[in-house]
Structure 1
Amino acid sequence: MRLALNLGYLTGRPDPGEVLALARHAEQLGFASVWAAEAYGSDSPSVLAWLAGQTTTIGLGSAVMQVPGRTPAMTAMTAATIDLLSGGRFRLGLGVSGPQVSEGWHGVRFDAPLARTRAYVEVVRAALARETVRHAGPHFELPLPDGPGKALRLSFQPVRDHVPLYLAAVGPRNVALAGEVADGWLAVFVDPSSAAEQLDQVRLGRARAGLDLDGFDVVATVPLSVGPDPDACAEPVRAYAALYVGGMGSREQNFYFSLAVRMGFGDEAAQVQDLYLAGRARDAASAVPYALLERTSLLGDRDRVAAGLARLGDAGVTTCAVVPHGRTLDERLTALTTAAEALELVGP
């Protein structure tokens, strides 16, 4: 199993130089990749292009580039450009986001997300392969049949024949789609004790494509909080968990809430959601059960982190993308060092 760094979103408050310091430290430690996120604030390609010019070896991944936010051709152009600028280090992670962001921010109906994603991937793949792009379907029609447009192909030669493509997925059908059409799966809130069911969905998708798990990258985004007391380490992770379980979506449609329910935390997730949607984010964070955090995070000293990494590896995770928590940059840098040392304890 490899280590990676997930930077999350730029908030606009901390010095962006801290993001660069984390990425460079991860590179020095031998991390395989660094990932940047987007929702309705900072965008991931800008961050990754910035990092591409200031790093040399570490992989650069979008987790994610939002499907409703760009045409598939624009995504292919961006992916090919960052891959060129970085010397072939880019990984294209895609996600459909949710109905609130898709419709409220991008103005794109959140309908048939699986079919839309499948069609989107087909166009992106064709464009990155420098095929003359033609696509007919209800979601994308290229070129338009009733105007002056003509079928085009990417106008420069990408640095690689194949840019690795990942799908962020939470629900079972979307996880299966990742297995079928992508090179990897971007997963969150991975509980090693129940990951087998999700990996079965990946295998189902791979089988549809006539493939197995060989070479498929299972990337788990995992909060990392280092210290002598696991309970205290869980505290800074609570707000992160509450945002996703309680606030990342509506009461009627929140994929992360549904995942928490499937993990056996139905009553607790409902309480977190009630509090969060009532505007009581701090109370919602306090209501997140420690058991959920302990099962889906790396909390404690180096030995506990090593044990958690071992469980993730045994569960089928091939890349652990840690989200370092800490009050200061030095604490977050130290957390990355601890994770690297812990992985050495786990061994090959």
Structure 2
Amino acid sequence: MRLGLNIGFVYGGDDHLDHLRLVKEAEALGFSVTWAAEAYGSDAATLLSWIAAQTTTIDVGAAVFQIPARTPAMTAMTAATLDRLSNGRFRLGLGVSGPQVSEGWHGVRFSQPLLRTREYVDIVNAALRRETVAYEGKYFTLPLPDGPGKALKLTVRPIRDHVPVYLAAVGPKNLELAGEIADGWLGILNDPGFLGEQLNHIKTGRAVRQQDLDGFDVVVTTPLMTGDDIQAAADPVRGYAALYIGGMGSREKNFYNALAVRMGYAEEAKEIQDLYLDKKHREAMAAVPFGFLDSISLLGDKARMADKLTAYAEAGATTVALTPFASTVEQRIADLRTAAEALELSGVGN
């Protein structure tokens, strides 16, 4: 099992410089990858290009490029360019986002996300293989049949023969799709005690390809906070958990809320969502159970973290992508060092 780093978004000020310090520390510690995200602020491609230009060994990954934000051809162009500029260190994470962002920000209907994702990945992979791309699907047709367009081939070669594709997936059917068409899965709100159920869905998808999980990267996204007081260490994670369970979607459709329900927190998930959507954000944060926060996070001292990393490895995780939650960049760097020491102590690293 390897460690990764989530740097998330750029919000403003000098936070991009803080991100770079964290990535350089993670690279020095032997982390395998750093992931950048996008929603409706900073884009991941620009940030990853900037990070790649100032590093040499750590992989740079999109977690994720939003499918409604780019045509599949544009994603292939971006992925090939990033792979070349990074000397073969780019990982392509994709996700459909959610109805509010897809329809509200990108103006793309959130319909049949599984089929749309399948078609999208088909085209991206064909383009990255530098095939002449001709495709006829429900959502994507290349070239258009009633005009002057012609089938084209990507003109830039990626460094590698295959750029690894990851899917961000939450629901059971999307997990199956990840297993079938992707090289890895980007998880979120990951409890090692629930990971087996999620991997069973991925295994179903792998079986369609007559493959098992060998070589498939299971990436669990894990908040990181050190401290002797575990309750206090969990508190900075409350806002993150409340946002996903309560605010990432509508009352009728929130994939993360549904995940919390499947994880055994049905009553708590409803309360958090009700409070959050009623603009009672502090109360929603307070309503997130400590047990939930502890289950999805790496909290405490080095020994406690080593035990948690062992649990992740035994459950099937192959990469633990850490999101440091400390308030200063200096403490976040110290926490990354503690996590690296914990991995060594656990004996499950490679």
Give the TM-score, by structure 1 length: 0.99
Deviations 1:25-71 (CA, angstroms, capped at 9, x unpaired)? 00000000000011111111111000010000000000000000000
C-alpha distance in structure 2 between counterparts of 1:116 and 1:211, whole Å: 23
C-alpha distance in structure 2 between counterparts of 1:12 and 1:253, whole Å: 30
> Counterpart of 1:104?
104
SS of 2:8's equivalent in the other structure is coil
C-alpha distance in structure 2 between counterparts of 1:60 and 1:157, whole Å: 18
Name which of structure 1's ranges 324-333 and 4-13 shifts more when overlaid on structure 2. Answer: 4-13
Deviation at 1:137, TM superposition (A): 1.2
Residue 33 of structure 2 is aligned to residue 37 of structure 1: no
C-alpha distance in structure 1 between counterparts of 2:162 and 2:137, whole Å: 24
Deviations 1:220-265 (CA, angstroms, capped at 9, x unpaired)? 1100111111100000000000110000111000000000000111
> Counterpart of 1:331?
331
> Counterpart of 1:254?
254
> Counterpart of 1:347?
347
SS of 2:342's equivalent in the other structure is helix
Counterpart AA for 1:249: G
Counterpart AA for 1:24: K
> Counterpart of 1:218?
218
SS of 2:92's equivalent in the other structure is strand
C-alpha distance in structure 2 between counterparts of 1:324 and 1:15, whole Å: 14
Check conservation: 2:64, 2:93, Cα contact below 8 A: yes
SS of 1:34's equivalent in the other structure is strand
What's the RMSD between the two structures over aligned residues? 0.7
Deviation at 1:284, TM superposition (A): 0.9
Please, which runs of 5 or more residues in structure 1 have no aligned partner? none
> Counterpart of 1:199?
199
C-alpha distance in structure 2 between counterparts of 1:15 and 1:306, whole Å: 29
C-alpha distance in structure 1 between counterparts of 2:276 and 2:13, whole Å: 23
C-alpha distance in structure 2 between counterparts of 1:15 and 1:71, whole Å: 29
> Counterpart of 2:11?
11
> Counterpart of 1:80?
80
Residue 142 of structure 2 is aligned to residue 142 of structure 1: yes
> Counterpart of 1:302?
302
C-alpha distance in structure 1 between counterparts of 2:246 and 2:346, whole Å: 34
SS of 2:30's equivalent in the other structure is coil
Check conservation: 2:81, 2:156, Cα contact below 8 A: no
Deviations 1:303-327 (CA, angstroms, capped at 9, x unpaired)? 1111111100100000000001111
Deviation at 1:132, TM superposition (A): 0.3
- What is the count of residue pairs matched by the alignment? 348
Correspondence list, 1:245-284, <5 A = 245-284=245-284
Deviations 1:76-127 (CA, angstroms, capped at 9, x unpaired)? 0000000000000000000000000000000000000000000000000000
C-alpha distance in structure 2 between counterparts of 1:293 and 1:229, whole Å: 14
SS of 1:146's equivalent in the other structure is coil
Residue 312 of structure 2 is aligned to residue 312 of structure 1: yes
Deviation at 1:15, TM superposition (A): 2.9
Check conservation: 2:130, 2:153, Cα contact below 8 A: yes
> Counterpart of 1:46?
46
C-alpha distance in structure 2 between counterparts of 1:323 and 1:291, whole Å: 19
> Counterpart of 2:160?
160
C-alpha distance in structure 2 between counterparts of 1:156 and 1:189, whole Å: 37
C-alpha distance in structure 2 between counterparts of 1:82 and 1:196, whole Å: 33
Deviations 1:165-211 (CA, angstroms, capped at 9, x unpaired)? 00000000000100000000000111111211110001000001111
Deviations 1:279-313 (CA, angstroms, capped at 9, x unpaired)? 12121111111011011111111111111111001
C-alpha distance in structure 2 between counterparts of 1:74 and 1:337, whole Å: 37
C-alpha distance in structure 2 between counterparts of 1:157 and 1:25, whole Å: 30
C-alpha distance in structure 1 between counterparts of 2:47 and 2:15, whole Å: 13
SS of 1:194's equivalent in the other structure is helix
SS of 2:175's equivalent in the other structure is helix
Give the TM-score, by structure 2 length: 0.98
Check conservation: 2:84, 2:157, Cα contact below 8 A: no
Counterpart AA for 1:15: D
Please, which runs of 5 or more residues in structure 2 have no aligned partner? none
Aligned in 2, Cα 1:240/1:13: closer, same or farther, shift over 3 Å?
farther
> Counterpart of 1:289?
289
Counterpart AA for 2:27: E
Deviation at 1:157, TM superposition (A): 1.9
SS of 2:284's equivalent in the other structure is helix
C-alpha distance in structure 1 between counterparts of 2:272 and 2:157, whole Å: 49
C-alpha distance in structure 2 between counterparts of 1:250 and 1:297, whole Å: 25
C-alpha distance in structure 1 between counterparts of 2:158 and 2:18, whole Å: 31
> Counterpart of 2:128?
128
